[in-house]
Amino acid sequence: MIKNDLFLRALKGETLDRPPVWMMRQAGRYLPEFMELKEKYDFFTRCQTPELASEITVQPIRRYGMDAAILFSDILVIPQAMNIEVEMKPNFGPYLPNPIRTVEDLDRVVVPNIQDSLGYVLDAISMTKEKLQDEIPLIGFAGSPWTILCYCVEGQGSKSFDKARGFCFTQPEAAHQLLQKITDTTIAYLKAKVKAGVNAVQIFDSWGGMLSPVDYQEFSWKYIQQIVDALKDEAPVIVFGKGCWFALKEMSQSGASALGVDWTCSAQNARYLTGGKITLQGNFDPARLLSPPEVIKNMVTQMIREFGKDRYVVNLGHGILPHIPLENAKAFIDAVKDYSE
């Protein structure tokens, strides 16, 4: 039994004294202990070495005592497992030397055996569970099929992913083939994570907001829905779509346990669009963690009042930024822990 199960109870919609709190990208670059490991090991070595991944996962928990841990990994381990080469270049980000641009390129893309290709992630889950000692739940995650496609086609990060969108609009059949392969791999991967011990899963649709509402339905949402359908009876599923407020109503009817909201959508709008019947997660502007600690505490308290303490998970509206002062991250977490009506 998980000793602090606030997070899991919030996902079930139970009445709580205060909402739970964790931060997207909490295991990472704003922590000095993480930076020490970064100096010694390259990015994918950290992801692919279970001892390192599990250590990085618990670093923020030791320091701040969040109500949930999220496994340190990356969304791009999925294309790697699918026989698409991915490098992480310093001061550049992800780089895929052989992007998918044609139907012929799809021939080399496989739906892998998860144990063979991503067994290191499952080992990291076991090691992390051992370290957490059932104190708090562990979250596993994956990127949405559309977000993964964006990198596979573009070959790198982008502000607009024009090549990825162009691929979908000029070669829709090939795009849907690729999206389905990614979806099948993601379902198998998340099921394996649940079996290995994660208590909930989150789907990150980081680039969903690049699409129009109509294209979002065709190239992103219907694949996320497949993942939710496949997982929802095995573990709670959180869907986070950055810039996807226009799809919140449909998302709220998907069977997901919770929806992440970014900072461009107000609590009032998010509750209205989702009918007030689903747990919401978010949506503090990550850059607002640069404000003084007292301001952060007041803003977090106000945010909880606006969302309401029930059916709510306090989080950022996207990942924590690298240059956030440690005491500011602490102010964010403490504000939630100290909250009382």
To the question of whether residue 206 is assigned a binding role by annotation, the answer is yes
To the question of whether residue 157 is assigned a binding role by annotation, the answer is no
Distance CA 245, CA 240 (A): 10
To the question of whether residue 25 is assigned a binding role by annotation, the answer is yes
DSSP-derived secondary structure letter, 220? I
Q: Over 117-182, what HEC string results? A: HHHHHHHHHHHHHHHHCCCCCEEEEEECHHHHHHHHHHCECCCCCHHHHHHHHHCHHHHHHHHHHH
To the question of whether residue 29 is assigned a binding role by annotation, the answer is yes
Q: Are 11 and 236 in contact (CB under 8 A)?
A: yes
SS3 93: strand
To the question of whether residue 41 is assigned a binding role by annotation, the answer is no
To the question of whether residue 285 is assigned a binding role by annotation, the answer is no
SS3 232: coil
To the question of whether residue 305 is assigned a binding role by annotation, the answer is no
Q: Phi and psi of 27, rounded to 5°?
A: -90, 90
DSSP assignment of 26-87, as one string? Answer: -SSTT-HHHHHHHHHS-HHHHHH-HHHHHHHHHHHHHHH--S-EE----TTHHHHHTT---E
To the question of whether residue 171 is assigned a binding role by annotation, the answer is no
36, 39, 44, 45: CA torsion to nearest 10: -80
Q: From 150, 163, 42, 156, select the one nearest 96 (Cα to Cα).
A: 156
To the question of whether residue 74 is assigned a binding role by annotation, the answer is yes
Distance CA 285, CA 276 (A): 22
Neighbours of 55 (CB within 10 A): 21
Known binding-site residue numbers: 25-29, 44, 74, 151, 206, 318
Question: Which residues sit in the known binding site for substrate?
Answer: 25-29, 44, 74, 151, 206, 318
